[in-house]
Structure formats: structure tokens, C-alpha cells
Amino acid sequence: MTGGGGNVGAVITQLIFFRGSKYSKETGITLMGAMIVCCTLLITLIYFPQWGGMFFGPKKGFTEEDYYSSEWNDKEKEKGYHQPSLKFAHNSKNERGRRKVASVTAPVAATATT
């Protein structure tokens, strides 16, 4: 998202604010900053039911398997077309790592002093 959006955004920004003499450089930079802030605020609306979003947590009981298999209808599931999606969901869950409930500090090894 960042790479593609950054490249396209740079071209659009260049065309809108810096091509021609409609805006001065100072006004163009100010408007470009406002555009960046507005576009960035849209990211706060991204929400994944199994992981949550910026303002809301995940839906209870909703798993990666539910999310990735939801794009398949019942007939496709009967034929097994959804199996690669379930494998991806399983890999996604395994790569996430384990959450540590409490941190345990390891004892510091004693060093010999002479």
C-alpha cells in the first residue's frame, strides 16, 4: 500500500499542485500537506474483523479461517476450492506469534571478578 500509493500520490500531487502557475510553491506545499493528512486519516477506517482496527478490537469468535473462507460460496466449498484459503489462514495464524501474558525476566548470569 505504501509503495504504490506513494508513487501514484507523488505523481497526482505533482500534477495538481505544482504543474502550471495556478498555485505558488508555498501554497502548493501547504495544500499538499493538507492532502497528505486527509488521505492518511482514511487509514483509520480500515478494519479486519479477526484482528480489529485502530479504534475497535476484533470481533469475538471471528477467526482467520472465517475471514478468508467468506469469499467462497457453499458450492465452491463443497468442491474444495476454499482449501488454499484455509491453508493461508492457518499460516497467517502461525506466523503471528504467541502473545505473552506476563513477562518473565531471566536471571542475570553471575560474572566472575578477579
* Model pLDDT for residues 42-60, shown as the tens digit of each residue: 889 999 888 889 998 888 9
- Same domain, yes or no: 52 and 92: yes
The reported pLDDT for the residue numbered 104 is: 46
Three-class secondary structure of residue 62 per DSSP: coil
Residue 27 structural domain: 2-44
Q: How far is CA 73 from the centre of its chain?
A: 26
Same domain, yes or no: 19 and 39? yes
Residues 70 and 53 in one domain: yes
Any domain includes 106: no
pTM higher than 0.75 for the full model?
no
**CA angle at residue 4 from 12 to 38, to 5 degrees?**
55
**Do 63 and 80 sit in the same domain of this protein?**
yes
In a domain, 8, yes or no: yes
47 Cβ contact partners less than 8 Å away, ≥ 6 residues apart: 53, 56
First to last CA, the chain: 57
Asked, for residue 20, whether it belongs to a domain, the answer is: yes
In a domain? residue 75:
yes
**12-32: average pLDDT:** 85
Residue-wise pLDDT for 63-93, tens only, equals 888 888 888 899 999 999 999 988 988 888 8
